[in-house]
Structure 1
Amino acid sequence: MHKKDLGLAVLIILVGAVVYLQNPLFLSPINLGNTANLIGLFGLFAIGQGFVIMTGGIDLSVGSMIALLGVLFVDMVGKFGVPWPVAILVILVIGTLLGLAHGLLITRLRMQPFVVTLCGLLIYRGVARGYTGEATAGFPFGANYPTLEWLTIGRSFGVPHAFFAMIIIGVICWFVLHRSVFGRHLQAVGKNEDAARYSGIRTGFVITAAYVICAALTAVAAVYFAMFTRSVQPSSHGNFYELYAIAAAVLGGFSLRGGEGSIIGVVLGAVLLQELQNLVNLLGIPSSLNFAVMGAVILAGVLADQQFNLYRARRRATAALGVPNKSGSARHQTPATTNDLTP
C-alpha cells in the first residue's frame, strides 16, 4: 500500500469516528449495508475513470452513458422481453463500442479528450431523452427477475453484491495496472507520451484501451444502477456521476497530469466520498450542499497532490545538489584535490 493510500485509509477512519460520535446510527447494520452498496455502485465506474486519468485524459460522458445504457437495459428486459443475460451482453458491447469510439477520436483524429467526452455527455443524454420521449423507463409493475435481482441488488453475508463486484473487478484491475506490461505502458504514456512512443510503445493502442476499459466498467455500473433504481429518468439519471468518478480517482492519488495512480487509492476515494455523503445525511446538513462538499473535496485532493509533488521535487533537487543531511555529512562529496592537501 502506498503512503497516499495509507493516509487516505486513516482519514476514512477519522471521518467515520467523527460521524459516529455525532450519530451512532452511522455503524448500524442497515446504514453500513446501504453505504457499502453505494460504494460498490460508484466504485465500479470510478475504477474505469482511473485508467483514463492515468493516460492524462478524462471522461466526462460517464453519467450520460449510465443513463443511456440504463434506459436500453430496462427496455430490453422489461419491455421487449430480452433474456437478461443477453441484455447485459448487449449493454457491455455497446459500452465497449462507445469507449472504442472515444479512443479512436482521440488517438487517430488527435482530438482533445475533454472535447470528445464532453460531446459524448451531450449526445448520450440527448439520445436517451429522445428515445424515451422524456418519459421514465421502468420495469413493468410487479415484474420479478429473481436471478438478476439476486446478482445485482441481493446480499450475501449482509454485504451487497455490488460491493463484491467492485472488489472482484478492483482486484483484476489492480493486477492489470500494477503487475502487467500493459499497466507499465499505461503509466509510461501518462508520464510522457512522446517518450513512450519513441521507446516503441503503441501509445494509440494503450490510450484507446484505457477508454474502452472505462466505458466497459461504466456499462457494468449502468446495469447495477438500473436494477438498484428499478426505473431510469433519462433527464436526471446519472447526473454529475462523472464528477464522483473524477473525485474518487483524484482523492485516490491519480494525478490529473497522468502517469500516477493506485487502484486501492481510487477504491478508498469512493469509500471516502460515500462516507462524506453519509455524513451530510446523518448530520442533517441540507442535501443541496452535496455538490459543495464534493467540490471542496476535489479541490483539496488536487491541492494536496500538487503540494506532495512539489515536496518530492524539492527532495530530489536537494539530494542531487548534495546538501548535508541531518548528521551533518554531505550526501555527495567532491574528491580531494592537490590544492585541498596544501597547507
Structure 2
Amino acid sequence: LKGTIQYINPATSALTGYSLEEALGQTPRLWKSGVHPPEFYQAMWRTILAGRVWRGEVVNRRKDGTLYDAALTITPLRDEQGNLVGFVGIQNDITHRKEVERLKDQFISNVSHELRTPLTNLKLYLTLLERGQPEKQRYYLTTLQREAERLHYLVENLLSLSRLDLGEAEISRTPTDVNVLVRMLVEDREAMAADRSLTLEADLAEDLPYALVDRPMIEQVLTNLLTNAMNYTPGGGKIVVRTAKREDEGRSWVTISIEDTGVGIPPDERPYIFDRFYRGEAARRSGVPGTGLGLAICKEIVDRHGGRITVESEEGKGSTFTVWLVPAWS
C-alpha cells in the first residue's frame, strides 16, 4: 500500500486549496508541513498498516503555503476477505481552537509573570519592614504602596478585559461634550505634569459636535493614553490633547488626539502595541511599571463604540494617538 490519493471531497479541497484533479495520484505528503519529525509519521503508518485506527492532531500545509491544524482520523479499509486495501482519512480544521488554546496558555503565563513581580516585592518589603533598618521604614512603606498600586492596577485591567470579553461591560452611549471631558482630564493632571517638568495643554476645537459615547469608558481610554504619554515623555517635553471634527472615508468623526514629544515607537513595534501584554523596548529599558494591557483595553473599548484608534510615531520625536468617535448627530 503506497497511500496514493484516489479521492478527496469538496470540503478537503476547500480546506487544502488543492482540487480533486491536483490531488489524484499524489500521496498525503502533498499536505506535509515539515513541522512533525519523521518518527511521528512512522508511528502513524505502523498503526494503520497493522489495521488499527489512528487518531491525532497534525499540522498540515495548504497549497498557498499556509499552515493549519487538523484533527485527523485514519481508518483502514478491508475487502471481503479481510485484506487491507486502503484507508479513509477524515480531517477537521481545528486551527481556531488551537489558536484559542495558545492564547489562553499565553494569557495565563503572562498573568502569572506579571503577578509574581509585585507579590515578590510585597513579601520582601514586608519582611524588611519587620526586620530591616528602622531609618529606612519610610522607603519600605513607599515601595510597598507602589507595588500594591501596581497589583491593583493589574487586577483592575484584567477585570476590565474579562468584562469586555464576556460582554458583561454594558455600553451606555449618550451625547457627550468631549471638550468638557478633555478639559477636566488635563486640569486633573496639570500638577502631576508640572512635577515631572512636562508641559500639558488642551487644544479644543470650537463648535465641536457631541460624540455618542459611554463617558466612563472613554474617560478610561483617555486616562490610559495620557498616562502613557506622561510616562514616556522625558522632562522638558510637551503633551497636547487636541479635539477636532474630521472627515474620513466619507464619514464625519469626532477625534481626540494625545500628542507627545516622547521617545516614540520603533516601526517594527507598531503592529503589536495593541496586543495584550505587549510591552516595547522603551518600557522594558526604562522600567516604567505597567502590564501591557492598557492599549489593548483602549482598542477594545473604542472598537465597541464603532470607532477606531490610530497611532503616528517617529522614533526619538514622539507619538500621536488618535481616538475616532461617532458623532451624536450627523
| TM band (smaller chain) | under 0.3
TM-score, normalised on structure 1? 0.22
Larger-Rg structure: 2
Higher-strand-fraction structure: 2
Bigger relative contact order (CA 8 A; separation at least 6): 1
Higher-helix-fraction structure: 1
TM-score, normalised on structure 2? 0.22
